[in-house]
Structure 1
């Protein structure tokens, strides 16, 4: 069981309001180590600098999309097994299947509640304490 306060999570979203929602939900769950970046390109750089336990990424971003970012993560031998949650407004079966085919760990629809966020994290990481 992961201890929430010991988790290090990278949130990738180009919308400030969504980064703030993620911050509020994660802090409410007891997560203290949260890094935020506005693009997949910035996330790839941050991943070179520090280890993370989980990536939470938006799908629709300027430049590299969340799906393209996920594929890059899964192709990287060092990062390939890192849990990756896609948080997005894209809810079609086509989008969900594309993310699953690319190796997403879980998919959560925006906007989400803290309760939904907790369920998602626990499905990916196991019960939080």
Structure 2
């Protein structure tokens, strides 16, 4: 069975358009087990109920940004080993450096193509 048939991914973004674009791209890659959340606390609750292998999160979200979500995942023994990709419109060195310190596996700058998303995911989990 291919990795794409087994992997479970959580997409976290407060913008429904962005969530839709990412989930469409994942679907076109053959990834069917995709959860979505519109904010960090919602993602944490969903992951608690249904564990995932990889979180793809927007950086800029109200309440809890992508780096705060990453920190919450890394400080919980149950979720500290999850793959984490941060998506940001402003790939500032400070954001990327902080993400790396917190244990981010990869990042992607908006706008991006489905091919760039796939390469970003494969760099974290292996060939789909």
> Normalised by the size of structure 1, how large is the TM-score?
0.95
2-structure distance, mates of 1:36, 1:51: 13
Runs of 4+, deviation exceeding 3 Å = none
Measured against aligned partners, the alpha-carbon deviations of 1:7-46 in whole angstroms (never above 9, x if no partner) come to 1110000001100110111011100011111000101110
Aligned length: 128
Quick check: 1:2–1:126 contact (8 Å CA) kept in 2? Answer: no
2-structure distance, mates of 1:51, 1:44: 10
2-structure distance, mates of 1:76, 1:23: 26
Long gaps (5+) in structure 1? none
Long gaps (5+) in structure 2? none
**In structure 2, the residue corresponding to 1:55 is in which secondary structure?**
strand
Higher RCO (CA 8 Å, separation ≥ 6 residues): 1
1:87-98 alignment, distance < 5 Å: 87-98=87-98
Q: Shift in Å at residue 124 of structure 1? A: 0.1
2-structure distance, mates of 1:100, 1:19: 23
